[in-house]
Amino acid sequence: MGLLVDGEWQDKWYDTAGDGKFRREEAGFRDWLSADGGPGPDGQAGHRAEPGRYRLYVSYACPWAHRTLIVRVLKGLEDLVPVSAVHWRMRDHGWTFEDAPGVIPDPVMGAMYMHQLYARARPGMTGRVTVPLLWDQATDTIVNNESSEIIRMFNTAYDGLGAKPSNFYPEALRGQIDAINTRVYRDVNNGVYRAGFATTQAAYEEAVRPLFDTLDWLESRLAAEHWLVGSRLTEADIRLFTTLVRFDAVYHGHFKCNLRRIADYPALHAFTARMMELPGVRDTVHFDHIKRHYYESHPTINPTGIVPLGPVEMY
């Protein structure tokens, strides 16, 4: 675990000094991919969608990267946007392309470490080296490394190039989707990390209580409806799913989010199973990478690196 400082890699754990709270850094690359190469919704610099031009870099362990893999498969972009996948273990050198089952090497520069791609895109940069990221092979740089934006780009950018017509962020539902996303991001997606990486009892409890309040609230919504918004699959469901599917396997134990399991919530459990059955989604879920990543990458939380055998029942 580490970051780039003035273009040089430094091995450094998250800084929670002071109040013991984990704070996620803002993503640093925010250009936009669009059908015509025009600017993004807030005027971001545009890159034109073309078959094979962009490469998506993911970790199968990572819930943020997982969002992008799901939208990629649901939109039928597998041949249009190829993928590289890092090794599950993230230690002294951060994400690596060390050879192992499931790893898909980097063809752009034959990188061994993900930080080499960041330093190539922005020489001298200071910041964390995260997945997912979208690489533009034509301009040899990173387009974007913020998953919530990459899924919005994938949702429409390839519609004229053979993508499936589904729309996961329809105009009429945006207000409701945004409202759900805000709460789910704060209390659930990022909430599990705020619990797991907290270094004081108070910071941990401050994350765990709203996490379970929000899971209770989601349980009641999903007991009444199959999907979170508008009786149809939207990005709000995809964003919730990637945390729920990891919950009982890692967040419950490793991150101490153990007031309840997802298996104890009938509607959340059924929702997760339903998401798994969507065409192509099961193939995006790699429990081996998920479990080994968390238990092997965080020595301050799990010094032995032992990966628990359970839970027996998965989806």
Give the interface with ligand GSH as residue ranges (CB under 6 A).
1, 27, 59, 62, 64, 128-132, 145-148
Cα dist. 274→73, 214, 226, 230, 315 in Å? 16, 20, 9, 17, 10
Residue 193 known to be catalytic:
yes
Using an 8 Å Cβ cutoff, are 224 and 248 in contact?
no
- Is the Cβ of residue 150 or residue 222 nearer to ligand GSH in the bound state? 150
Q: Is 16 annotated as a binding residue?
A: no
CB of 226 to ligand GSH, least distance (A): 26
Taking phi over 0 as left and psi of -120 to 50 as alpha, with beta for the rest, 78 belongs to alpha
Catalytic annotation, pick one of 193, 265, 294, 315: 193
- Is the Cβ of residue 148 or residue 167 nearer to ligand GSH in the bound state? 148
Identify any residues that bridge with 47 across adjacent strands, giving them in sequence order.
33
- Is the Cβ of residue 27 or residue 250 nearer to ligand GSH in the bound state? 27
Catalytic annotation, pick one of 57, 60, 62, 315: 62
CB of 189 to ligand GSH, least distance (A): 8
- Is the Cβ of residue 197 or residue 265 nearer to ligand GSH in the bound state? 197
CB of 220 to ligand GSH, least distance (A): 27
Q: Is 25 annotated as a binding residue?
A: no
The stretches of 27-110 forming alpha helices (DSSP H) are: 63-74
Say which DSSP state 40 is in.
-
Using an 8 Å Cβ cutoff, are 180 and 228 in contact?
yes
CB of 165 to ligand GSH, least distance (A): 26
Q: Is 209 annotated as a binding residue?
A: no
Residue 257 known to be catalytic:
no
Say which DSSP state 74 is in.
H
Q: Is 59 annotated as a binding residue?
A: no
Tell me which residue has tokens 């490469």: 55
- For residue 30, count CB atoms less than 10 angstroms from its CB and return exposed for 0-12, middle for 13-18, buried for 19 or more: middle
Question: Would you list which residues are annotated within the binding site for glutathione?
Answer: 95, 128-131, 146-147
Sequence ranges of the binding site:
95, 128-131, 146-147
Name the residues annotated as catalytic. 62, 193
